[in-house]
Amino acid sequence: TNTLFDGLLAAGQSEPSRRFALLPDGRHYSYGDVETVSARFANTLVALGLKPGDRVAVQVEKSIEALMLYLATVRAGGVFLPLNTAYTPAEIEYFLTDARPAVFVCDPRRRDQLQPIATAAGAAIETLGIWRSHEESAGSLSDKALAASERFETVARAPDDLAAILYTSGTTGRSKGAMLSHGNLLSNAEVLRETWRFSADDVLLHVLPIFHTHGLFVASNTVTIAGGSMIFLPKFDADEVFKYLPKATSMMGVPTFYTRLLDDPRLNRDSTAHMRLFTSGSAPLLAETHRAFEAATGQRILERYGMTETNMNTSNPYDGERRAGTVGFPLDGTELRIADPESGKILPDGEIGVIEVKGPNVFSGYWQMPEKTAAEFRADGYFITGDLGFVDPDGYVTIVGRGKDLVITGGYNVYPKEVELVIDELPGVVESAVIGVPHKDFGEGVVGCVVAKEPLEEDAVIAALKDKLARFKQPKRIVFVDELPRNTMGKVQKNVLREAYKDLLG
Ligand code: ATP
Ligand code: MG
């Protein structure tokens, strides 16, 4: 058997006529189509020289065929390596040189530009674009797949074999390649299906990118293993979301999707009453957004927490209280603890420290970075996530920020989230990001970057915080910005802010 491919498709393949995906161009994919199309791509990869363990690097627009390429790679025993569509050729060069894929699949429009880079990295280059009609080519890989057999003998793969290398988002530094095994991915799909009650009756509105763990694994794998179906849209677009929402039972999103939906007059109880589940992750969902969404729709967004390296770690409960501002409980099979970042000493409930996790979901290490890997694991096998948080008396986990974003001023720790929550409460403030910037006396000083919906004065904001925060936590400066810099997953890029304001405190 092939652990991941057979595990994900067991339910669907028993009923090939069952719907797998509805596409915006009106086409449907059944589970039988998944079988035959993934076979065609698998045959094509093997003909290109792919051997078990070889990487297939892919930078293409989101499409159902790109998803089939993922399944085909796994099926052929290869290692799928998706790349953010926003990466520039210079970035692609880093990834290809690092990962040494056997095959690199890119957008047809970028082939000429990327060909020399692929060749230098020793990869065969192919293209995959958007399918428009039988008359029009959707890229060289697609053409070859159409000519290939729709039967393929799935290559056997054990739970410990690699299924994917996923590069982290690069929010805190250079992206690292997380090596994910068949067992890592399958176990997480199983536990998410159970935790979130996915079944063959589910229709997921899929609007996330598929180069990231959220859209590729959390969304697609969970639906597939449940034998459910997806409405597979190229991206988040509010008009499209409202068009397809009536046909869906669930949607997964990043926080910015929810804030955008909240700005839309079509979001109300009627348009969402039939929905079973909305989930959020990849970045913190403000408790405020959670409450506003409930007020508008009656739906309580289920927030969960994960990362590229670990798949999903925690989730708010399906039944039971979904507590705004928290990421819920460790998933079944995942152990979570809070440790002192320096000493590694395990801390009691309620104390803030670094979140560490262990379980079948946790990756085996960073691709070709044995030292980095060793540094991020404790001797007893726990992975040090780098996220700071605490566990409350009821067992809910709260994330207070990333270790790298912690501000240390005059020897005191300031958790940005605590200051952000107070700033966000002030009238006229939309949102904020608190950072530490170099300060000659204190090492670092607290600076608040604020998005305001009406003109605010810096002095007035600082004054308003005076009796709400201990002196060392109070921002020394407030800067007003039109919006916070975010990446495609809605993550605030604090390193961009730190760089922009590094000289602010002199
Ligand atoms: P890099 O590791 O390259 O700096 P990254 O950590 O942003 O980038 P990802 O693996 O995509 O790369 O993101 C995982 C991180 O996202 C987590 O470590 C955590 O900081 C954040 N995250 C995910 N879900 C949540 C959540 N519900 N609340 C708060 N933070 C979250
Ligand atoms: Mg990370």
pLDDT digits (tens, 9 = 90+) for 313-350: 999 999 999 999 999 999 999 999 999 999 999 999 99
Cα separation, 287 vs 31, in Å, equals: 39
Position 173 scores a pLDDT of 85
Position 506 scores a pLDDT of 80
Q: Give every residue of the chain whose pLDDT is below 50, as ranges.
A: none
Cα separation, 369 vs 377, in Å, equals: 13
CA of 169 to the centre of ligand 2 (A): 7
Position 195 scores a pLDDT of 98
Contact in structure between 256 and 490 (CB atoms under 8 Å): yes
Give the phi and the psi of residue 227 in degrees, each rounded to 5. 75, 20
Instruction: Count the neighbouring beta carbons within 10 Å of the beta carbon of residue 150.
Output: 15
Closest to 164 in 3D by CA, of 55, 65, 5: 55
Ligand 1 atom closest to Cα of residue 308: 10
CA of 18 to the centre of ligand 2 (A): 37
Indicate which ligand has the atom closest to the C-alpha of 171: 1
List, chain by chain if needed, residues with CB within 6 Å of any ligand 1 atom.
Answer: 168-173, 175, 281-284, 303, 305-308, 327, 385, 387, 399, 402, 491
CA of 258 to the centre of ligand 1 (A): 18
Token pair belonging to 261: 């939906």
Position 269 scores a pLDDT of 98
Indicate which ligand has the atom closest to the C-alpha of 488: 1
